[in-house]
Structure 1
């Protein structure tokens, strides 16, 4: 592939990108569709100053590394917000990927502040890679299958600057969180996480936490209220809001 094109909505015409073209002033790129080939491995090098990126990734397996292929993004030193949709060739009844035991070879830039992953199967190692992003403030996982349905967060899995965590339709039945896993978390949102029967009690020790929001997750109300009561007692009345929808 020597050229590719993108559609410019303002100019109502396609922009032709040749092999040597670089769009150094481009800061937003929305939803190209990628699958692995030697031509797509370094495709984003053509847009070195991207700040906002959304793309769709079709299932690709790298037999040389025994990992899912993921484009290299660590050189995008200006990138702040990233959203990726994963399309698997092997899905379950809910539409999420049923292949969950393969790790991802993620190459995220350290500048990333917001990360949204949709329909991704994830392993503990993949989640640990995300946790090491030093500037990540917001993490959203949608329709995610976690290998073994367990997320056991060790000392190395510390989201240093995460302020908002949202899990929607995540197949998680057991979740262990350390006291230092989310030292700056302000908002926890759980939506339709129906296999999870309890919010880890250690969330009560996260002092910055101000909001726990539950959407269509009635089985979590009891543990949320226990966290609220304990936290407010320990903080001397400092309110923790529980929102139930």
Structure 2
């Protein structure tokens, strides 16, 4: 899949085989939606390296882990992030300098997630 360098939008429904994981996605993606992907390892470090990603939507059961981290300098052009029904997610960490262009954040039914929001210097 990583060879398809003209692909800019992708909506995947269903489990991803381990050999196709998120590291195999084209660097040209601007919009990515995942649903029922059943990812067991935090996809954010790899997704954050996609240089053109503007919109990321992680829908029901796309990620089954308990922790997710958006690393520093990750998601350089991301404007929209939607996290829906990530039922096992307990902790979401956004490191400093991650997602500098984020304009829209929507979190729905991530009921186990810690409800803490820090803005600015802490």
**TM-score class normalised by the smaller sequence:** 0.7 to 0.9
1:168 aligns with 2:84: yes
Q: Secondary structure of the equivalent of 1:146?
A: coil
TM-score scaled to structure 2, two decimals? 0.82
Q: Distance in 1 between matches of 2:55 and 2:34?
A: 11
- Structure 1 stretches of 4+ with a deviation exceeding 2 A read 102-106, 144-147, 152-156
Match runs of 1:73-152 below 5 Å: 73-87=1-15, 104=21, 106-122=23-39, 123-124=41-42, 126-144=43-61, 145-147=63-65, 149-152=66-69
TM-score scaled to structure 1, two decimals? 0.43
Higher relative contact order structure (alpha carbons within 8 Å, sequence separation ≥ 6)? 2
Structure with the higher strand share, 1 or 2: 1
Match runs of 1:147-226 below 5 Å: 147=65, 149-155=66-72, 158-170=74-86, 171-201=88-118, 204-205=119-120
Structure with the higher helix share, 1 or 2: 1
What is the aligned residue count?
Answer: 116
| Superposition CA RMSD, Å | 2.3
Report how far residue 106 of structure 1 moved.
Answer: 3.2
C-alpha change, 1:200 and 1:85, in structure 2 (3 Å) is same
Q: Distance in 1 between matches of 2:90 and 2:96?
A: 20
Report how far residue 199 of structure 1 moved.
Answer: 4.0
- Highest Rg: 1 or 2? 1
- Conserved? CA contact 1:112–1:133, under 8 Å: yes
Match runs of 1:63-74 below 5 Å: 73-74=1-2
Q: Distance in 1 between matches of 2:22 and 2:53?
A: 18
Q: Distance in 2 between matches of 1:185 and 1:107?
A: 24
